[in-house]
Amino acid sequence: MTAGAAAAMAAQRQALEVLRTRLERLERTAHSQKHTDLANQQRLHWELLSKALDDPELAEVLDLFEAPVSAKQRRQYIYANALYTNALFYYRIGNISREEFFGYIRGILQNPVVREYWHATSHQRATIADGSDEAELGRMVDDLLTQLEESDTEEWWVVGEPPSA
């Protein structure tokens, strides 16, 4: 009887190990699929922005800014959007940490056009669902931009508190 119970437990243990292995494989596949989906979305986003950059009439469709902008500003804002969403994508797939994202954004916010773009699109970011990484990162950028604009130091690279890992 003891031998039978031991054999049953060994069979159960083996079955559980097989199930655990399958579950791990499925989780890896799902994670890989998420990265693939994000990469495809990023590629599509860039293709759409590229078309708008190449064709002023298409760029007008993206003119959703709080104040009227010139065709030159619109093109610059579209490019600023591409820079930001590229960094967001890199963060989402794990190529950069939140701290690295912060440092990159702090750098591009030194450009006045990027700052104008960020202000001009604040109403669009207000529609992003709370709790999403995009909403959290957007608020982080909002706070950083406020700190940069209020700072009285020329050493912009020390402004703001990088997020903890």
pLDDT digits (tens, 9 = 90+) for 84-102: 999 999 998 888 999 999 9
> What was the pLDDT predicted at 119?
94
Report CA-CA distances (Å) from 127 to 46, 65, 132: 22, 14, 11
> Which residues have CB under 8 Å from 56's CB, separation 6+?
71, 74, 75
Q: How many CA atoms lie within 13 A of 120 on its CB side?
A: 21
Q: Which residues touch 148 (CB under 8 Å, ≥6 apart)?
A: 106, 109, 156, 159, 160
Place of tokens 């950059």: 53
pLDDT of residue 165: 56
C-alpha pair distances (Å), 117 with each of 81, 84, 104, 130, 149: 8, 10, 16, 21, 14
Residue 74 tokens, joined: 């619109």
Residue-level pLDDT at 86: 92
Helix or strand run (H / E) with residue 141 = helix 133-150
* DSSP code for 94: T
Ranges of residues in the chain with a pLDDT under 50 are: none
State residue 10's pLDDT score: 85
**d(Cα 56, Cα 107) in Å, to the nearest integer?**
28
What CA–CA distance (Å, rounded) separates 84 from 44?
A: 15
Q: In whole angstroms, what is the distance from residue 27 CA to residue 48 CA?
A: 31
User: What integer pLDDT is reported at residue 144 of this predicted model?
Assistant: 92
Give 27-37 pLDDT, tens digit per residue. Answer: 777 777 887 88
